[in-house]
Structures are given as C-alpha cells and as structure tokens.
Amino acid sequence: MSCENYEEVITQAAIGEKVPDFTVEAYDPEDCGFCEVSFEEIRKAGKWLVLFFYPADFTFVCPTELADLANKHAELQKLGCEVVSVSTDTKFVHLAWKNDERLLKDVKFKMAADPTGEVSDFFSVYDHTTGQALRGTFIVNPDGVLVSSEVNYYNVGRNAEELVRKVEANVYLKDHPAEACPARWTPGDKTLTPSEKLVGKVYEELNGD
C-alpha cells in the first residue's frame, strides 16, 4: 500500500471519515494478468469501492465467499461499484488459486495482494498472530468516505446478497441524505425522514397509521 503522507493523514479507517488514496498490486482474472488497483483512480471515476478481505488463498470458506461474491458482481457493477478482494497472499498465489479452484471460475473482480498486511491493518482486519486478514467487507462512497464496515472471524462466511442490499441503501441515501433506511430496506420500500414528529411514531410512519 502506497500513500503520500500516510501516517500524517490517517492511521486507521473510520466510519464517516475519508480514506486516503492508496495503490495495491493485483491479479486481474478478466485480463489474465497483473495490474495495480488505484483508489485515487476509482474515486476520480466516481465509483463506489467494495473491499472484500479474506484470510488466505487455497483455504476452505474463502472460495465459497468469493464464488458468492462473483454471483453478485454484475449487480454491484450496475450500482457503480468497483469490487476488489484482498488477502495477504501475493498476486502470483492469486493467479494459481484462480486457475486451480473450480469455485472461482466466475470470479472477474480484481484480486489484490497485501503481503505486508499494511492495507489489512489500516482497515483493522489484520491478525498479527497469523499474518492473515479477518473476513472484512468495506464500502467506500465516490467521495472517498467509508460508509460501511463488517468484520467476521475466520470461521463464519458472509452473504453477498446482504452486501448488495447495503450498497443499494447507501447509493439511495447518497442522493437522499435527509432520509434513513429501516431494517431490511430494499429499493422501493418506505424510508424514514427523522424529525421531532417521528419520535415514538416509527410504527405509524411505516404502517400508514
């Protein structure tokens, strides 16, 4: 991870705060080659960024997660997202794993390499005991602000369908900042507009009473 004045700008990602520009090496399954992922370029392109950290290549829960994410990749792209998976493996290991593991046959998003653990540490998912990343999912909006964070331990896989729902909600709220999305909100559902009139009356607002 390279970032100008990294220590001076920010040392740890925080919800509601801007993420500094960074660059990481990656394997690109679509081009079958190596590349760089530049957060600055993603931000300047007006895209959302989904960072999907996982412990290690050639493991067990991890390929099921990446396969699940691959199934939702097209939906996330339509929402304006750049999806990047990240582990502490090298880009060479990513290439070998992608070619060997049949569960990864539909993976088209870039697979970033974080062998020093610097990116994982910045997002507070780096396990200094194992040298691996926990299962962390982060959503950064086009302004570079971290708006969502989810971290699981090694033995619990995630649900890409819920990730899509959270991205949909955040995309909606970026255009409607005065509103809020209640539990299980999906596009088309009723939102809430916080005010003194809504205090103690959320049931009535959601049910039309």
Which residues are known to be catalytic? 62
Torsional sign, CA 168, 117, 109, 65: negative
What are the beta bridge partners of residue 131?
none
Contact 143, 18 (CB under 8 A): yes
Phi and psi at residue 138, in whole multiples of 5°?
Answer: -130, 135
Determine the residue type at 198.
L
In sequence order, the 6+-apart residues with CB closer than 8 A to the CB of 181 are 169, 172, 173, 189, 191, 192
Contact 24, 86 (CB under 8 A): yes
CA distances (Å), origin 28, targets 25, 73, 95, 177: 10, 14, 8, 35
